[in-house]
Amino acid sequence: MEKRVSIHQEHTYVPAVAIMRATRRHSLQKVPVVMNTTPRQVCGDARRIGYTGTQDSDLALYRIKIRPGNGQPTMTLPAFYILEGGVFREYEQP
């Protein structure tokens, strides 16, 4: 019997370090991630994969990888994210 792991999209992911916004000029390659409901427990990381544009003020794009625990493999969330206002938000292309 195959077990399925479900990641609920209603979770809000925030950086484990104090970062309000990640731009082309000021961003990290890899950021530890926590859920807003458990801010002291790192549950994965966000990895920068590019930017929303070419200007210094354009936002960094991240993929979030979650470690569900219990010996289960890391899962990549299916969307791209930007870091704005201290929260990872799903990026919607204009």
Which pLDDT tens digit goes with each residue over 35-79?
999 999 999 999 999 999 999 999 999 999 999 877 888 999 999
pLDDT of residue 6: 47
Each domain of the chain, given as residue ranges in start order, spans 13-90
**pTM, two decimal places:** 0.83
| Whole-Å CA distances, 44 to 1, 11, 24, 52, 55 | 27, 13, 22, 23, 29
